[in-house]
Structure 1
Amino acid sequence: MTDDLQRLEEWAGALMLQVQPSRRRLLAAKVGQDLRRAHAKLIAMQVAPDGAPYAARKHRKELRTKAGRIKRQKAAMFNKLRTNTFLKVEADSSQVSVGFFGKVARIARVHQFGLTDKVAPRGPSFKYPARPLLGFNVADEILLRDSLLHHMGTAPEKKRS
């Protein structure tokens, strides 16, 4: 896989050097957005980048229920985390980063690597199972290649007089 990534980086790097730096940054941002969309879909499907389903959530005991109340359906994990507000793209003329930044990065890191964290601010600690949110696979490599070619091919070229 690292050889494939190295070849992709060399190919994309040579292609990107032919583009002006300001256009390169725009192109990198568009490719990053495509990659972000792909990972947001995986998170919505509750699937790790390698295709394995997430470990099931631990069931909470209902402490109190009212008679006649309709119970809310189980919500998927990481609904807010996969939005553009939290899953961000940072791009410049030399690189693209897709990930979680700021305070939400701690939550994502706990789930990505299966670390121990507090359930509530003054609550008990819990060892969360690993639920990889981000990762790189063969499908991402193909997506990057196709996205780069698509955005380079559809962009109007400026004519010089």
Structure 2
Amino acid sequence: MAELQKVDDWLSALLANLEPAARSRMMRQLAQELRRTQQQNIRMQRNPDGSSYEPRRVTARSKKGRIKRQMFTKLRTTKYLKTAARADSASVQFEGKVKRIARVHHYGLRDRVSRKGIYTIYAKRQLLGFNAQSIELIERMFIKNLT
């Protein structure tokens, strides 16, 4: 959290030099680029720190040797992973009913498997987050727009 505060302080100082229209345009571009990196992480089945997601649990009903589907294939689409940008901020967030599903998996919370099913504790799989690559992307975007 401390590193995020450093980035926020640095960015707010740079944002003061731009006009409001240029700031909002840059923030929109930044949000779209951050969404692409988050989608890439979800597609590669890895946390923002580079470690891979914890695999699904093996159940007694599952068949051996079957092809396993990737997790969160629909969550990473632009239908659910939305961007929001204003002159002073940019965000990437999940929208609608999938926000609950994403929150349960992101924090490793307890939830029902199906509507009337049993509760289970899901493994922690960080869907959104900053890493060195995304901070570098933010820096490049700011430098490009300030020059």
Superposition TM-score, scaled by structure 2 size: 0.87
Aligned residue pairs total 145
Please give the root-mean-square deviation of Cα atoms over the aligned residues, in Å.
2.1
Q: Is 1:140–2:134 an aligned residue pair?
A: yes
Q: CA deviation at 1:15?
A: 2.4
Looking at structure 1, the residues matched to 108 and 6 of structure 2 have their Cα atoms a distance apart, in angstroms, of 31
Q: Is 1:98–2:92 an aligned residue pair?
A: yes
Looking at structure 1, the residues matched to 4 and 115 of structure 2 have their Cα atoms a distance apart, in angstroms, of 41
Gaps of 5+ in 2: none
Alignment partner for residue 130 of structure 1, among 116, 124, 136?
124
Q: CA deviation at 1:92?
A: 0.5
Aligned to 2:40: 41
SS in 1 for 2:129: coil
State the identity as a percent.
39
Letter in 2 for 1:79: T
| CA offsets 1:91-119 (integer angstroms, 9 cap, x no match) | 10111111112211100000001111111
Residues 37 and 120 of structure 1: CA distance in aligned 2, closer, same or farther (over 3 Å): same
Superposition pairs of residues 5-154 of structure 1, within 5 angstroms: 5-60=4-59, 61-62=61-62, 73-153=67-147
Gaps of 5+ in 1: 64-70, 154-161
Looking at structure 1, the residues matched to 70 and 145 of structure 2 have their Cα atoms a distance apart, in angstroms, of 33
Contact 2:18 2:146 in 1 (8 A): no
